[in-house]
Chain A
Amino acid sequence: MLLTACDSQLDLKPVDTIDASAAVSTSGDVEGLLVGAYDSMSDIDLYGGNLLRNAELLGDNGEIFWDGTFVEPDEIFRKAVLVNNASLANTWLDAYRTINIANTVLANLEVVTEANRARVEGEAKFVRGAMYFELVRNFAKAWTDGNPANNAGVPLVLTPTSEINNDSRVSRATVAAVYTQVISDLTDAESKLPATNGIFATKWAAAGMLSRVYMMQERYADAANAATRVIDSGRFSLVPSEEVFDLRTNQSGITTPEDIFSIHITDQDGINELNTFFGGTSFGGRGDILIEDAHIEMYEPGDKRAELFYEDNGLYTVKFRNQYGNVKIMRLAEMYLTRAEANFRNNSAIGATPAEDINRIRTRAGLAPIAATSLTIADIMKERRLELAFEGHLIHDIKRTRGTVGSLPYTSPKLIFPIPRREIDANPNLTQNEGYL
């Protein structure tokens, strides 16, 4: 009796956390878990900013200068990434953490109320599809590099982890297999997601993400069609050049009618990691990424976008000046630029002609339109670069268009991140990328 009473003193319950077995039993629990997936996806090493930052640092051809002391981004900027790059390891780990949450949501859909089930499934698949897309295009060879059906992609895990055993040591699927999964998830998401969904993913976010996937695969008609679905939804519109970005300071993020999908930051929660690195020290940033003259010189006279910079002991972009501003993952201008490029390369006019789309962007920037007859692919790519500068497209655009970074060809192993060393160490079934030990 006394002993039992004593023994019960050992039955303590955690204070801050709850037992996993009781965590996912109601529809509300699953929907809370789905929010957890967004939270995980908003991590600094994912869409909280570093995925975008890394694409700019790795693809840079002299338009920016890394002036910071953090070793990880410095390695990326110098194209001399080490296998123990902690920021990249976190990108990997947090992406798979997000995927596991999405997998758990998908495995518990039967608990979700009928009315919400399709949306919840669509959101989880959007999250999972987006994460696998980012993993495969950062940690594996580009679609345009060799044979995707033979090239190692990343491990594909589609069920939630309930225990850790030898089956947890998953090998890398091929690049093609990962792309197939991404397209399947995003297509499913597009069909199941609603047209409006608060701050969360919509049908259009999924379609926009699909357009990016198709562009990586050079499937231009599919890309133009996906972009057209977003544009034709009528839910989004271009805003004046000076209103595209959040020029307020130290205030919780807001969206504009141009935003298709953003990571929402408030002064209470979330970190805009692009502000951390691209923001000047007077605006809560570290002032690590300076804008070089080479970039400024690319703007034509009269381009309003050339004014979107500020001096703060160096030149910085205003795009991430608000410390608590949202991280824009996708906005309407990209859809026009994608469609223009896809149509041009495809010699088609799905939705609109390339000139119509490009001139929409030029006009907004205060520039004269380009005649359809004189429009070149270089014009389109330059417009894309200037409009979407520093927003996380650079290295991927270089890879899909078979460009170069300095003297490095787009297929250089130095432009592919290593599988994180800790992951290789923990999972002997993984193979390392070329050029890394």
Chain B
Amino acid sequence: MKKSGLLTLLALLLTWTVSIAQGIRVTGTVTSAEDGSSLPGVSIQVRGTTQGTQTDATGSYSISVPSSNSVLVFSFVGLGSREITVGNQTTINVQLTADTRALNEVVVTGFGAQARRNLTGNIAKIEGSSIQGVPVTTFEQALQGRAAGVQITSLNGKLGQGIQMRIRGSSSVTASNEPLYVIDGVPMTSNNQGTSTSPQNPLADINFNDIESIEILKDASAAAIYGARASNGVVLLTTKKGRSGKTRFNVGYQMGSSEPTRRREWLNTAEYVELYREAAQNSMDRGDLPANYMTSLESRFTRYAAGERANWEQGLINNNWEDHAFQKAPMGQLDLSASGGDNKTRFFVSGQYLDQKGILIKNTFKRLSGRVNLDHKANDNLTLGVNLNVARTQNGRLANDNAFSTPMQSVALPPMTPLIDPRTNQLSGNYTLYFNPILNRDYSSNISTSYRTLGNLYGEYRFTDWLKFRSEWGADLYTLNEDQYYGRETARNTGAPNGLGFSSFAQVTNYTTNNFFSLGHTFGEKHDIDGVIGTSFQRSDASYNQVEGREFPSNSYTRVTSAARITAGSSSGTNFSFLSYFARANYRFADKYLFTFSGRVDGSSRFGENNRYGFFPAVSAGWIISEESFMQALPSVSMLKLRASYGLTGNAEIGSINNFAAYGLYTGESGYAGTPGQSPSQIENPDLRWEQTAQTDVGIDFGFFGGRLSGEVDYYIKNTRDLLLNVNVPGTTGFRTQLRNIGRLENKGWEFVLNSQNTTGAFQWNTSLNLSGNRNKILDLDGQVITGGFNNRAVEGQPIGVFYEIEYAGVDPNNGDALYYLNTENTDGSVNRNTTNDPNLAQRVVLGNPNPTLIGGITNNFTYKGFELNILFQGQFGNMVYNGGGKFQSANGDFFDNQTRDQLNRWQKPGDITNVPQARLFGANGTAESSRYLQKADFVRLKTLTLGYTLPTALVNRAKLERVRVYVTGQNLLTFTNYTGWDPEVNADHLAGNIGLGNDFYSAPQARTIIVGVNLGF
């Protein structure tokens, strides 16, 4: 009593002192009653005055009120408003009750945050919680099927492998089509830094259980604040923050295993012998092979059958080589976290250990990650904090899909070749048709270890109620160390008879600083203005070292230091910098009419002095129709918003090799036999400048029945001009390509998002659907021919990367010849659809599109009491896949590769109607690249299925726990497709690129993974 009286006295005194000065200062935070998340943009008015402010990105506010009698009105449309008399309080924390979660969720916008209802741009948000526990190595894979307009493709089933993400299609032909990834304000190093042509994914270093939310900025209004980096969209990762209150601990463990989604069928020994005998006989009959060739063939069979005729003749050995490419693939993951804090200091700390084996032999992935996020309020005006993440990732890697040593290429070996050579009791070695890739399982290692430090330090100072300054200093330090050793047993592949060792080291230091003012003010109750203005600077320096040695004393020595001969070594580096000035203003009138203006000036070291800076503005507007009085007659419409945006974004991601593309360059890497030399390496282009994308987006946000049914519809047009093209120049100039700004392309598309709460009450069923269609079209390439993959091409009037090749016309029933349509132009302009058996005479035509025209995902979530069932289906449609391995795998016995079983349907006698030509050894009958190996690759996949059970609280509390959840999750459980290869989600890693799309080449299928897990909260 005495104590509280004293406090009251003190408070009164303080109030009086402050009042004398300028009234009472009240601070606090506004949070959502539902989940405690902070609410930015909440309007706070002193009732009966024009005084007002709004909450900032963290939901905090500060306001001066005239007296203790003043009443503060907290309002946020869609939420119930609250009025609170100040009294003797100086801290007022308010909770507002939400009704429609989707429309009131807070969206991170880049240098700020906004309530979704006030948004005029298009931003997809994925809650971190929705992807937690998904058994994949990297967060992009977990996003598959969860955001409209976002296509995510794993190149193949190797762990730690690069991934392609396309947001609203491909906006460039030669520059990057990958989005900009920003974590807590720091642009990340996201492109491959390894030495292999099979790209390694630096984003796999991220423990995605640390992620609070992922925002994908898609339209110009949302993304233009990232200016020249934003044409491909921006992915913002925001990590978890501590919340004041009791310290909460979380422990999670999950374990399970993976297997390939599909296997293929190959010939057994008897079928193989039959087919190849026939193939040889046919070629002999045609005079293409000597009349006595059958003897050579049989001795070849015997050679492949480990020297024993009976092994093939009687089928004693019947080896399915595909079996040996795969391994048992267990995984285990342990997560620990703690969060909490008080009013001044909040923290979140976490740790993760993931240990996973891939489905392919030697493919492993281990991640050890730790994080500390700390926020401290030094005083009413100053907040500071740090986010720090340290991670170590160890990836047991494999050669690219084109390498003989990659496990999947074992399928090429004849079935009569045993895994173990009975003559030596060792793995079959030099006598096999090709290098036996299983040798690499036992006699090689290829380990990439990355060390990642992602750090971000910030200080935020509040000058007045409506003005703040924030300074962020971030660093992304990435080092990648590759150690490889190939023993003497693999000499046939490496060419190194006594072992080959390789070591490389890449270091990328990437510094960023963002300094910006944030403003937010409400005028006369009806005018809300907020905005940011600031500057950003980024510099990235990379350095690379590598060394190769040969001649090792034995396989026990695997580091280059033991090599008797150092055969190669290099060190190199590159760098780039960006200097940017940006501003954004949001104006809201009467909570109904919304306007956003944003702009950014970007300068980059990548361009010549003439065109170094670019300006990227955007405007957008929104009209919340449901706030209009005439809508009151339609109470079932809880939300209806019309929005539109237009703006420019840029693309400067021309790859580290092109960091200095504007200059004429010489390289010193031209020594000859020990004598130093130099040579021209690049022809100059001083006019090189940004690629520019103008994007228009119109959309509707809607909500019905109190928000039980809500969604978005968008239509957009993205026009990209001044394409940064690596233009093929006449080779007679001494150069191959030149980077130029030539040409235009467009992406047009629509997106549809629907969220529905199908039932309420004890049994809850929610459905979330996203569908999107994108049509990419190359408008102008100035006649340039730009190719990739096996036969992908950029063709004017066509989507990027169309398959451009000759058209297979099936088999001539009379003679078994593979036929191709001529497709040449007749004199009257029509197309000659006659056929030829000479592929050189057939005209190449556009055969198909590697880009899906429709992608989507549907999630159904059921909860009943403690049970929850979550089912995600993902699909893509309208795209095709080219199997570049077809000419070896399904070549009707052209060479000695084992064949897919469908080749048994070959033409054998006149009149046979089949699609498989006559078997002709060395006959190249139908093996030319053609539409024979092109297929539709539409698929629908049961991507993720989770069944969970949260134990009753009463039970759990008895064990001093707060929460116990057990679950089982399956990833890629079912795939529905007509594609006959391993997996329709594929893009052979050595060919993947902007143009190289939809190619399959001995690419491993995705993994089907089943795990069980438990989460404990206490």
Contact = CB atoms under 8 A, between A and B. Distances in A.
A426 interface: yes
Contacts of B674: 266, 268-269
A250 interface: yes
A10 B579 contact: yes
A425 B604 CA distance: 33
A284 B738 contact: no
Interface in A396-437: 420, 422-423, 425-428, 435-437
B575 A15 contact: yes
Contacts of A287: 492
Interface string A13-57: 011111111011000010011111111101000000000000000
Interface centre among A12, A163, A265 (most CB of B within 10 A): A12
B734 A96 contact: yes
A21 B664 contact: yes
Contacts, number: 226
B629 interface: no
Given A9-B577, A10-B579, A267-B567, A32 B731 contact: no
Interface string A98-110: 0111011000000
Nearest to A436: B840
Given A17-B681, A69-B888, A281-B491, A169 B497 contact: no
**Candidate in A23, A29, A38, A323 with the most chain B CB atoms within 10 angstroms:** A23
A164 B683 contact: yes
Nearest to B684: A20
B16 interface: no
A114 interface: no
A78 interface: yes
Nearest to B670: A36
Given A83-B840, A199-B673, A15 B665 contact: no
A312 B840 CA distance: 36
Nearest to A435: B840
Contacts of A11: 605
Given A9-B537, A269-B673, A284-B496, A425 B668 contact: no
B344 interface: no
Contact of A17 (B495, B577, B660, B676): B660
B574 A16 contact: yes
Contacts of A169: 730
B949 interface: no
B952 interface: no
Interface string A264-296: 111111100000100001111101000000000
B610 to A, nearest CB: 13
B980 to A, nearest CB: 23
A249 B492 CA distance: 15
A101 to B, nearest CB: 5
B676 A422 contact: no
Contact of B732 (A104, A170, A276): A170
A91 to B, nearest CB: 10
B33 interface: no
Contacts of A42: 672-673
B461 interface: no
Given A15-B573, A20-B663, A36-B670, A104 B895 contact: no
Interface in A204-229: none
B379 interface: no
A40 B577 contact: no
A103 B679 CA distance: 12
Nearest to A135: B732
Given A17-B667, A427-B732, A33 B679 contact: yes
B677 A426 contact: no
Contacts of B784: 426
Nearest to A20: B664
A308 interface: no
B568 A268 contact: yes
A366 to B, nearest CB: 31
Question: Chain A CB within 10 Å — which of B675, B684, B888 has the most?
Answer: B675
B682 interface: yes
Contact of A10 (B604, B665, B730, B733): B604
Interface string B167-206: 0000000000000000000000000000000000000000
Nearest to B791: A84
Nearest to B494: A284
A16 B573 contact: yes
A419 to B, nearest CB: 10
Interface in A39-85: 39-40, 42, 69, 71, 78, 80, 82-83
B665 A20 contact: yes
Contact of A15 (B574, B675, B682, B924): B574
B664 A157 contact: no
Contacts of A265: 673
A184 to B, nearest CB: 19
A83 B550 CA distance: 38
Contact of A14 (B659, B735, B888): B659
A10 B734 CA distance: 30
Nearest to B567: A267
A427 B843 contact: no
Interface string B538-566: 01000100000011000000000000010
Contact of B840 (A35, A71, A281, A437): A437
A1 interface: no
Given A40-B679, A100-B680, A281 B672 contact: no
Given A15-B574, A23-B666, A161 B733 contact: yes
Contacts of B41: none
Contacts of B670: 32, 35-36, 39-40
B663 A14 contact: yes
A118 interface: no
A300 interface: no
B732 A425 contact: no
A44 B491 CA distance: 21
A284 B495 contact: yes
A19 B495 contact: no
Task: From A99, A160, A281, name the one whose CB has the most chain B CB atoms within 10 angstroms.
Answer: A281
A33 B663 contact: no
B422 interface: no
A97 interface: yes
B666 A18 contact: yes
Contacts of B11: none
A42 to B, nearest CB: 6
A260 to B, nearest CB: 16
A153 interface: no
Contacts of A323: 495
Given A269-B672, A425-B785, A78 B922 contact: yes
A32 to B, nearest CB: 5
B895 A164 contact: no
A250 B500 CA distance: 13
A426 B728 contact: yes
B679 A269 contact: no
Q: Which of B537, B679, B842 has the most CB of A within 10 A?
A: B679
Closest 8 CB pairs of A and B: A100-B734, A35-B677, A20-B664, A36-B679, A264-B673, A15-B573, A36-B670, A23-B666
Given A38-B672, A101-B680, 14 more contacts: A10-B605, A16-B572, A17-B660, A17-B667, A19-B664, A23-B678, A69-B434, A82-B840, A92-B731, A161-B734, A163-B684, A270-B672, A426-B728, A435-B840
29 contacts: A9-B537, A10-B603, A10-B612, A12-B659, A15-B573, A18-B666, A19-B664, A19-B665, A23-B680, A24-B666, A32-B670, A36-B679, A37-B679, A38-B672, A40-B679, A42-B672, A69-B434, A82-B928, A96-B732, A97-B679, A101-B680, A163-B684, A164-B733, A168-B733, A264-B673, A267-B565, A422-B728, A427-B732, A436-B840
Interface of A: 6-7, 9-12, 14-21, 23-24, 29, 32-40, 42, 69, 71, 78, 80, 82-83, 89, 92-93, 96-97, 99-101, 103-104, 155, 157, 160-161, 163-164, 168-170, 199, 249-250, 264-270, 276, 281-285, 287, 312-313, 323, 420, 422-423, 425-428, 435-437
